[in-house]
A and B are shown apart, each in its own frame.
Chain A
């Protein structure tokens, strides 16, 4: 039933990518941190600590790459194929919650977040997702709007 799909990053290469990512974050932090004044060791400016952290992270990233050859992936299960549908639906559901929360109100936002994220699972159908979403809307109205009196109108933000 499952088609054999290849993972994006092969486990044997994972540490090279991981180390490179850490170096990128570290160098980024250093570049951004240079915009704030560094100061001296006895009187540190706001830029000193982040630049130092960026330097450490870059070095650690380098070390991860340097040792990547020696470490073997511990488990094969990590070599899972990418799950684009799941990622897309879960991401979209949260964006929908924010957008609909702003312009539609609590009920549409709640429905959207549950409905769209439920579709991330291949076994859920449009009908089961709708039922689940409606049930959550019910719970939401009772718990958050009625019981906790949250500051979030049911419909329309205006």
Chain B
């Protein structure tokens, strides 16, 4: 078993190191790194914007590139958080708490160095877990029928809705809205055309790229225009500063390990967002520390643990997406969409049928992470310069790339209107304090949920208890019920204590205005 995995991994490296694949992987991590640094842009909008580019590409380089954007942006996010107190995307908000004080004390370079070591360590651990856990998971997944698939999807959707930040009820509402958007178009079973409101263009479903760029691109701009201004400072980081001392390494080692474990655990759980993961990793460190007062004033542990958590989660996230076909969060939903566009059905068969893709992807994680560590050393200075480009120049250009990107998906101008529509809808939801990421998850899973629900009930002749009769399905359903009860419990306890709770996410003073929560 283990030997087989290692042989496959070796094969994966031969795929990932092919010059063509390596080039796209490099391109992906570079773009991801840049996007991660820029405020108001997340991995989601970057992946959505480059998705049309992959239509003409072969599946392997396409996925390597998109995955590279995802983990590349994680490295970039830490730079903005540590040097500028600016969480370019929410998972790194917690890194600001101790990273920026370190910069003010002149130890920004050390913080970045530790971040890089922690990130690489955590990513390597996550990849190792993926190498050995995926084949095991596949063996279980082969036993899945429509009943089990529906139950696990329900679990994923429920977890995605309730475990993100903010009110769980609102998360559920957004998931259902996403499922409804997924209904739009032609019903595969009966051929009936649903919810198109007379637009023939909609009979082929709502376009994934338009939905993603509307919710995470245009909605962001609508929320941030005139609110994000000039950011950036004169932080200078020299290569020499980035090497941490032995004592600092020792200090950061166990937080790094604990952060990695937190991230791995949460990555394996479908639906848990990256932001909650980093906050929990930080909270754990503060709780077990002998000197909790140091946190918030430049504690090295407060940088190492959340960054490690975010990276191991990113890698482990790929496991359920690739081996069961159920994405854990919105970014994974987008990558799943990219696979479907390439005509590849993610699921248990993926590893055997597309071995080059699966093992190539895993190997490219390592290659990409090494590239990122090497890249980051000389490029940090460049990124700091990039951060000084004012937002008022950046978003109009980004808007153009969104418009042209969506158009090029199907050479359809109608889909550009879709972007505008979802942008406005998304901005309204955000203004009312709804999280928008669950919409994407619901949209991607919608048709699969409906089909498996219908099939399961067809097989059971309309008996709803079937979901509780099969053992695997019963297990997933029990977790679902547990999640709901847990939320009810939290809500009741929260109301009783009124405002006392909710200190897990401490209020942050953000230099760059209010980043929109993509989680």
Contact = CB atoms under 8 A, between A and B. Distances in A.
Nearest to B461: A42
B225 A114 contact: no
B166 to A, nearest CB: 8
**Shortest 3 CB-CB contacts between residues of A and residues of B:** A42-B462, A86-B225, A41-B462
30 contacts: A14-B433, A37-B192, A44-B453, A46-B187, A46-B189, A49-B450, A57-B173, A60-B169, A64-B170, A67-B169, A71-B167, A72-B499, A80-B514, A83-B226, A85-B226, A94-B399, A95-B420, A98-B413, A101-B416, A102-B413, A113-B396, A114-B399, A117-B395, A117-B399, A118-B393, A118-B396, A121-B225, A133-B396, A136-B396, A152-B404
Interface stretch (B177-185, B231-239, B251-259): B177-185
Interface in B444-459: 450, 453-454, 457-458
Interface in A70-87: 70-75, 77-78, 80, 83, 85-87
A18 B226 contact: no
Interface residues of A, number: 79
Contacts of A74: 166, 433, 502
Interface in B223-254: 225-227, 229
A98 B180 contact: no
Given A17-B432, A78-B431, A152-B404, 17 more contacts: A18-B173, A25-B180, A37-B192, A48-B454, A50-B183, A53-B176, A73-B433, A86-B221, A86-B222, A93-B399, A94-B420, A98-B416, A114-B399, A117-B395, A122-B226, A123-B392, A152-B411
A57 B166 CA distance: 18
B172 to A, nearest CB: 5
Nearest to A93: B399
B420 A91 contact: yes
Contacts of B144: none
Contact of B403 (A54, A94, A133): A94
A47 B450 CA distance: 11
B424 interface: yes
Nearest to A22: B173
B194 interface: yes
A105 interface: no
A112 to B, nearest CB: 10
Interface of B: 166-167, 169-170, 172-173, 176-177, 179-180, 183, 187, 189-190, 192, 194-195, 218, 221-222, 225-227, 229, 390-393, 395-397, 399-400, 403-404, 407-408, 411, 413, 416-417, 419-420, 423-424, 427-428, 431-434, 450, 453-454, 457-458, 460-462, 464, 491, 495, 499, 502, 507, 514
A97 B221 CA distance: 17
A80 B227 contact: yes
Given A42-B461, A73-B433, A97 B416 contact: yes
Nearest to A13: B432
A154 interface: no
Nearest to B507: A75
Interface in A89-113: 90-91, 93-95, 97-98, 101-102, 109-110, 113
